[in-house]
Amino acid sequence: MFYQLHGSGFNQPRTDLPYGKIGIVFLPIAAKEGIHMEMPAPSASVLSRKDQIVSRLKAVLPDAAVISDVMETRAYECDGLTAYRCPPMCAVLPANTQEVAAVLKICHELDVPVVPRGSGTSLAGGALPTADSVILGVARMNDVIETNYADRYIRVQTGRTNLSVTGAVETDGFFYAPDPSSQLACAIAGNIAMNSGGAHCLKYGVTTNNLLGVTMVTMDGQIIEIGGAHLDAGGLDLLGVICGSEGQLGVVTEATLRILHKPEGARPVLMGYDSSEVAGQVVTDIIKAGVLPVAIEFMDRPCIEATENFAKAGYPMCEALLIVEVEGSDAEIDAQLALIMEIARKHNPVELREAKDADEAGRIWLGRKSAFGAMGQINDYMCLDGTIPVSSLPYVLKRISEMSKEFGLDVGNVFHAGDGNMHPLILFDANKPGDLELCEEFGAEILKLCVEVGGCLTGEHGVGIEKRDLMNVQFDPADLEAQMAVKDVFDPKWLLNAAKVFPLDCSAPRRAA
């Protein structure tokens, strides 16, 4: 879930942060302080040693790269999950791997908790500080280290934003495939921490499928190299478990990423249906026919209506709308779309519209891309991220609609239909006492439903603090124990981002040790 409060200024560039150009940070918005997500009590011992800790950090970093002023640390008090906020004890902005290692070595020695931060766009609270923590921001580390077209990889510092990785290679016809919606702002460091996805992962996979190697600093300050320009691991697949570990195993400072040549072209088709069951069947039939579109996006009626009022993309008013995009040469696109449209027609669409040119393609995508903004015009909303088996779509949508009536809160559904990753948007009024709590309760019920039908709590946003307390719904104690055992190996003192992912009562003995 993440929260967008009505009419607030999201996604605005900040100019008041140190080092000027550190990209775009989500502005804190009129928020309610720490609602009811429990966080561990800050360590009195650490807080009492703040001056000593800051001076040790200043000994290894330029003065300006250590932020300890109480007003300035507020810049790091939250990430994209703005309902929860807590300024850190201090923040550091190292410029390279060696500085990261120096910082971690000090924090390890002094038993200071560390919360790594990319661009702070996490929707799950992955970069939410604790009051006794040092925020380790990688935003100053955004260089391209090497570009190699013959071997099809790029090596970057991980503070670099997702879109600017593609930006570094696109004039030569290449791109980096994972494309989370926040790609203008989000950093590769955060993408690796959360194993971010995007709209096109049906064909290209998510971050873990496009990550070849990393330089990582472990909590004790050791610099390790994993993977590189070659494929797959010679020993255990450590890269595989580091990707998606939410900054709990180490701080990734450099990454080798797979780049691909851009397709010759891409074009979408839009189709509308009178029921979500039928739309779900169309998705299944397309996939079974052997076409593999790069994206299949789904919107339901509440979302279509909101979007039409907001963006006027010319969408048909119907129960379910699909956008299917394919890639290739013009002739290949024609052939694939012909097959897709033939399948679509068999299910009596209320609308079937093929983009004939870039302008029409843009209009087809316009509504989908403005869906979140459109819902935000109606009210505050919370966005969920569960995944379900595609076959359960009609049942899940029916249950969500029933629950919507029970809770008295409206829901719009947008989702990546090809892979079952849902983004239900629950509307609520942040100014109405009890509404946010009701909304959170509703959200938790939807996520439990996702697990019940064979899916999971989060498809691409991560657990963070937001889904942390629901982990027991999906995992048995032995399952969580096995995951925590991995952290024991990488971070025996449990200092790195330790209040996230695992329910606090599960991780308590380790955090206290």
Of 178 and 376, which has the nearer Cβ to other proteins?
178
Alpha-carbon distance of 490 to 405, in angstroms, equals 46
Of 42 and 503, which has the nearer Cβ to other proteins?
503
Q: Token digits for 273?
A: 């249906």
DSSP string, 243-258: TTSTTSS-EEEEEEEE
Taking the complex as a whole, how short is the minimal distance between the CB of residue 303 and other proteins, in angstroms? Answer: 20
Taking the complex as a whole, how short is the minimal distance between the CB of residue 317 and other proteins, in angstroms? Answer: 27
SS3 413: strand
Short-list 142, 134, 62, 72, CA closest to 105: 134
Short-list 468, 456, 457, 459, CA closest to 511: 468
Alpha-carbon distance of 220 to 217, in angstroms, equals 8
Of 226 and 439, which has the nearer Cβ to other proteins?
226
Of 46 and 217, which has the nearer Cβ to other proteins?
217
Taking the complex as a whole, how short is the minimal distance between the CB of residue 177 and other proteins, in angstroms? Answer: 12
Phi, psi angles (nearest 5°) of residue 428 = -150, 175
In the block, residue with structure tokens 């990889």: 153
Taking the complex as a whole, how short is the minimal distance between the CB of residue 445 and other proteins, in angstroms? Answer: 17
Of 89 and 216, which has the nearer Cβ to other proteins?
216
Neighbours of 281 (CB within 10 A): 18
Of 353 and 500, which has the nearer Cβ to other proteins?
500
Alpha-carbon distance of 163 to 372, in angstroms, equals 20
Taking the complex as a whole, how short is the minimal distance between the CB of residue 93 and other proteins, in angstroms? Answer: 26
**DSSP label of 171:** G
Q: Token digits for 135?
A: 């925020």
Neighbours of 24 (CB within 10 A): 17
Taking the complex as a whole, how short is the minimal distance between the CB of residue 406 and other proteins, in angstroms? Answer: 25
Alpha-carbon distance of 432 to 430, in angstroms, equals 6
Taking the complex as a whole, how short is the minimal distance between the CB of residue 181 and other proteins, in angstroms? Answer: 14
Of 68 and 276, which has the nearer Cβ to other proteins?
276
